[in-house]
Amino acid sequence: MKIIPKDVDQFDSLIHGDETTFDQLTTFDRNGLAPVSKDNIFGLINSSGDVIIPFEYDSIVMSTVNAYSVSKNGKWGFITKSNQILIPIEYDLTSDFIENVCAVKKDGKWGFIDLLNSIIIPFDYEGCTDFRCGIAGVVKNDKWGVINKKNELILDYQYEYLTPVDENFLTFGKASDFKVDRPDILAYFPYFLNPDNYLMKFGLITIDNKVILDAISELPILESFDGKPVIRQNYQLGYLKDKQEFIPFEQFKIDPYEEKILKQIGVMI
């Protein structure tokens, strides 16, 4: 089956014309395939418009293992580029295969599976992060702790959020005193809220639970610049000099319209 750009939902007659190519409508992956939708149902095509994966999925997302995470009838799984089932489409949600395991949600709880769909970490958790350097953040009773791939508890459940940076450091989250009155609008921006809609701030701890940077960043601290933690304050990315002085990255500028909205919400000064 072959289609033309006009056949898919991504085509907008006000913007596109007969000369429009699929490369202008979507992004092709390392297999030379790209997701497109027709009547809000997704398939995969090549650049010539040949349908490689038929239009039968609610969502298709390229994964790190040269396969595709797909959803159908409210459930998620993985298929190969030839539309063979790799992981049964039976999960509430799926993440991706990071460090050879994938976080998946089933019956309201999270666990981890491998490429054979074997359960590596039981479905015991209310939430989790992906594994990074052999550890992952997990949630029980609304508190975050850290486990290894043997499901051993490395750091007890005591934080409002935890995600590993590497084998030595983790970002922890802590709710601020500021309650957001319009979380629906803030959802369009990269901010974090706790379940009660209080603005979250993030800091750094060591794997043995020593605080090395208080919760001062608007985003989890996962990167460094010249060995210094990259943080965001007042919607401005930058780094901390001597763990105190905030040095902004001047190349990052906020859109004036977004700035107006964020100031009205109260998250920007």
pTM: 0.87
Question: CA 36, 39, 43: angle at the middle one, nearest 5?
Answer: 30
- Give the Å distances, CA to CA, from 94 to 54, 106, 126, 147, 231: 21, 9, 14, 19, 28
Distance CA(91)–CA(109), nearest Å, equals: 10
pLDDT in tens, 152-206: 999 999 999 999 998 899 999 999 999 999 999 999 999 999 999 999 999 999 9
DSSP string for 76-128: EEEE-TTS-EEEEEEESEEEEEETTEEEEEETTEEEEE-TT--EEEEEEESEE
What is the DSSP pairing of strand 169-179 with strand 161-164? Answer: antiparallel
What are the domain boundaries of the chain?
1-89, 160-269
145 pLDDT above the threshold of 90 = yes
State phi, psi for 33 to the nearest 5 degrees.
-115, 155
Question: Position 26: which residue type?
Answer: T
Q: Which alpha helices (H) appear in the chain, and where do they start and end?
A: 183-186, 256-265
pLDDT of residue 252: 81
